[in-house]
Every structure is written in C-alpha cells, then in structure tokens.
Amino acid sequence: MKIIHTLLVCIFVISASCSEDSKLGQNLTLDDFKKSLSENMGYTELVNTFGVPSDDVGSGLHIYVYPLLDHTKVHIGFAGDNIVYAYQMNSSDQLIYTLID
C-alpha cells in the first residue's frame, strides 16, 4: 500500500510540473520579447525564458513561433544555435516590427 501511495504522489508531482511547463509561453506580449530577447540566446535559454515555441515553420532554418496576446506572433529564425532574426508578424504573416535583424 505504501508503494502505491508513493507512486501516486510521484505521478501527481510529475503531472503538476508538466502542466506548469506547458503554461510557459502563454500570455506573452511584444514587451516580454523586447525586454528579454537577445541575439546571443541559444535555444535552451529561449525556451527557459519564453517557453516551448508553439510551432517551427522553417525549412532548413528553424523559425520558432510564439503567439502573443494581441493575436500577433513572434517569429524567431535560428541557424544552428544562433538567432538570425526575430520579427513580430500579423495574422497574415506580414512583418509588423523587427526585434532582431
């Protein structure tokens, strides 16, 4: 019985930590990226700061997508582990603002 209790506690803790990680990346604004994004960020630091991107729409070049509260998106172009660019895009994927170029 003690083993079952311990397993249930472990499952609960893992489940809670996963749901917290999945919340990262939600409720982002352009100001979050203006304040915290830098050209020398690697992918791990990007994820630790903004959460896992919602999508990777690149082909050859990774283009990580982060939806923003105002229904625009931030596209971050990565080559290897270096940021090439970061743009705010509207719903038609037209450039609105350049964060890094």
pLDDT at residue number 59: 86
For residue 16, pLDDT beyond 90: no
**Domain boundaries 2-100, CATH class:** alpha beta
Q: Which candidate, 31, 66, 29, places its Cα nearest to that of 46?
A: 66
pLDDT at residue number 3: 57
pLDDT at residue number 66: 97
For residue 20, pLDDT beyond 60: no
pLDDT at residue number 33: 97
Of the ranges 8-12, 44-48, 64-68, 95-99, which one carries the lowest mean pLDDT score?
8-12
CA 47 to chain centre: 5
Does residue 62 contact residue 56 with C-beta atoms inside 8 Å? Answer: yes
Q: What does DSSP assign to residue 40?
A: T
pLDDT at residue number 26: 74
pLDDT at residue number 24: 54
Domain boundaries, the chain: 2-100
Question: Which residue type does 53 have?
Answer: P
